[in-house]
Amino acid sequence: MRDWRITNTDFFQKFKEAINNKYKTLHILIEDDTVYIRGTLFLDSADGRELDHYSIEIQIPHNFPKGLPIVREIGGRLPKITDRHFNPVDETACLFLPDERYKYYPEGSTIVDFIEGPVRSFFYWQADYDLNKGKSSFGERGHADKGIIEFYTEEIGISDKAVIIKLLDYLTKKKVKGHWNCYCGSGKQLRYCHFDKLKDLRKKISRDDALKSLERIKSTKM
């Protein structure tokens, strides 16, 4: 796969200009044919004072902007554990569930939108967590499989795991048909029940992301 910076040089130029114009302490580097943004992200309090700062790395995927950038805290300040919303295997930050990308990093967003939105929010949560000694005043998504259940419960108003599994199964299909039984368990056909909601979610959530979530919650006991 050819890297995005090579296949779209104009887009890469605008990407560099956006970072350079917005941030004086974040810098673009290219290592092993991969684009990184590294440096210090400063967080301000409501009255404009510096609240905290973190050394961060943002790895840009080769299929950017389709693929999600990968974020790491590289200063060694934060424990890379699930309770702090990190993946302990590769120490990457869990900014949001991939299924809910449309909320936090929708199609057409810029790299600055990404940093000012989910990245900055993630590190504000970390600063608040430490300030309040492990009791963040911000809301947070549950970890791993619990987070998947929470997200889809919010979307459809049903928390039953079997219902969410069936919904995810429908989201992974190439096509869905109105005569299928509705995922909600009503016994009605989709066309007479929650077909519109299913079609809406299929527009927002990729089949790949739905499949990963489906495989994850099917393999665990909750």
What SS3 class is residue 105?
coil
Are the C-beta atoms of 171 and 215 separated by less than 8 Å?
Answer: no
76: left (phi over 0), alpha (psi -120 to 50) or beta: left
pLDDT by 10s per residue, the chain, length 222: 678 999 999 999 999 999 999 999 999 999 999 999 999 999 998 888 999 999 999 999 999 999 999 999 999 999 999 999 999 999 999 999 999 999 999 999 999 999 999 999 999 999 999 988 877 777 777 777 889 999 999 999 999 999 999 999 999 999 999 999 999 999 999 999 999 999 999 999 999 999 999 999 988 765
Nearest to 113 by CA among 101, 127, 125: 101
Give the helix, strand, coil percentages of the chain, each rounded to 5: 45, 15, 40
pTM of the prediction? 0.89
Main-chain dihedrals φ then ψ at residue 48, nearest 5 degrees: 90, 0
- pLDDT on residue 21: 97
What would the pLDDT profile of 15-33 be if each residue is shown by its tens digit? 999 999 999 999 999 999 9
